[in-house]
Amino acid sequence: MAEFKEISPNASAGAKLSNWFENRFPSAISGWKYHVSEYYAPKNFNFWYFFGSLALLVLVIQIVTGIFLVMHYKPDAALAFASVEYIMRDVPWGWLMRYMHSTGASAFFVVVYLHMFKGLIYGSYRKPRELVWLFGCSIFLVLMAEAFMGYLLPWGQMSYWGAQVIVNLFSAIPFIGPDLAILIRGDYVVSDATLNRFFSFHVIAVPLVLLGLVVAHLLALHDVGSNNPDGVEIKGPNALKDEQGRPVDGIPFHPYYTVHDLLGVSVFLMAFSAVIFFAPEFGGYFLEYNNFIPADPLKTPAHIAPVWYFTPYYSMLRAVTSQMVYALVAIAVVAAAVVILRGRLPGLVKIGVAVVTAIAIALLLAIDAKFWGVVVMGGAVIILFFLPWLDASPVKSIRYRPGWHKWVYGVFVVNFLVLGYLGVQPPSPGGERIAQLGTLFYFGFFLLMPWWSRLGEFKPVPERITFAAH
């Protein structure tokens, strides 16, 4: 047992209370010091670094509002829609809880997408933060599962039919697909069993996993230190430190960045409140109009589409047709030919490339295109996990990369937004072609990154971070 720390009898009441608490729970105080008050962060954070703390804020909003919603929600196919209407109309402030939760779901993905983009442009996934990035990608994947399961719970038309479409995708998996789809649904169609399964996962299982990953993400981040817009390390054996061993280019997270983040929180809450009170449906993107109609298994909506934050991946799914498969075969043949004819590889390796390519082509042609659409949709998320090993750039931050790299990242963002827009729209021949090109660019951006990220003239990275007081 640790020795009690004495305090002067003339100390203030606050100091006495703090001393009393520290003597009885010293690990909490040491944790506060390690992760907040004595955690040194780079002093050149910009507005891109708001989104990590905002994601944590939205997570708290979702948990708190979710608790209040669960008090009145009925996970029963015959009562679910009516219970949501009861919350909206009769429960005091129930409409506010529901709109905060639905708006919070979209806000969560907004801040997470922006947080991931910050990591992309500043190289926050590079050594020594590979594990931080892997935890972050896992959070994104689990968040998608949480949002999808919660989307079914209102038991509206789009909830029902959206779940029907997405769950049926699993049936495209060879051999195990049909049984897997039945296992997920708990029935041969989306039904009360599906609703109960999704409710239990949405309320209990997935949030526990999500919270665990968030804690792991923050612990891993604070162990290796935060990245910064210059990509210069302020921790580690080669970092500049003062006589006390503190980073010369760092400042304590508290009070500097806790106050700094209050600016981002204030702006975010103003925008968040504006949506809740003036446009909670956000033109049908946050809450689709079909979801205000009770689920009807006998009446299919004219156009079924997921919520906006899934639409880029849904667009990639729809882009994979039989014609797209032939295009992928052609790309595989060209890529293999380039490696074999121009690559300086041993003969056995070239033979191996030819064999693997032949097997890949045979599988592409033998298995239905619907399955490959599912693979592409899943691969679009999974490929993010490999980013730390795909980027071969000699510098981390976009600030010190060639100017044309910024255009590549810009086109990537525009392409992602276009895919998201096409995923909302009804299928059309023109949209299908654009989605196919966008899908190829999305995967080309990552798969060709070991090549293009090394090209160009890089600027020298300073030894210390660049900082201007403001």
The Cα 266–Cα 268 span in angstroms is: 5
pTM attached to this predicted model: 0.92
**Residue 174, preceding peptide bond in cis (omega within 30° of 0):** no
Neighbours of 71 (CB within 10 A): 11
The Cα 115–Cα 413 span in angstroms is: 13
Q: Which architecture does CATH list for 34-280? A: Up-down Bundle (1.20)
Element at 335 (helix H, strand E):
helix 322-342
The residues of the chain that CATH labels 1.20.810.10 are 34-280, 310-452
217 annotated as a binding-site residue: yes
Give the pLDDT score at 1: 53
One digit per residue, the tens of pLDDT, for the chain of length 470 reads 556 777 878 888 888 888 888 888 888 878 877 788 888 889 889 999 999 999 999 999 999 999 999 999 999 999 999 999 999 999 999 999 999 999 999 999 999 999 999 999 999 999 999 999 999 999 999 999 999 999 999 999 999 998 888 888 888 888 888 899 999 999 888 999 999 999 999 999 999 999 999 999 999 999 998 999 998 888 877 777 777 778 888 888 888 889 999 999 999 999 999 999 999 999 888 988 888 999 998 888 888 888 999 999 999 999 999 889 998 899 888 888 888 887 677 778 778 888 888 998 998 888 888 889 999 999 999 999 999 999 999 999 999 999 999 999 999 999 999 999 999 998 899 999 999 999 999 999 999 999 999 999 999 998 888 877 65
Neighbours of 193 (CB within 10 A): 14
Residue-by-residue DSSP string for 389-438: HH---SSSSGGGS-HHHHHHHHHHHHHHHHHHHHHHSPP-HHHHHHHHHH
What are the two backbone dihedrals, phi and then psi, of residue 409, each rounded to the nearest 5 degrees? -65, -40
**Structure tokens that stand for 339 in this block:** 């490696």
The Cα 396–Cα 227 span in angstroms is: 10
The Cα 400–Cα 123 span in angstroms is: 11
115 annotated as a binding-site residue: yes
Give the pLDDT score at 2: 57
What is the homologous superfamily of the domain 310-452 according to CATH? Cytochrome Bc1 Complex; Chain C (1.20.810.10)
Can you say whether the dihedral through the CA atoms of 414, 415, 419, 420 is positive or negative?
A: negative
Give the pLDDT score at 349: 78
From its phi and psi, is residue 123 left (phi > 0), alpha (psi between -120 and 50) or beta? left
222 annotated as a binding-site residue: yes
202 annotated as a binding-site residue: yes
405 annotated as a binding-site residue: no
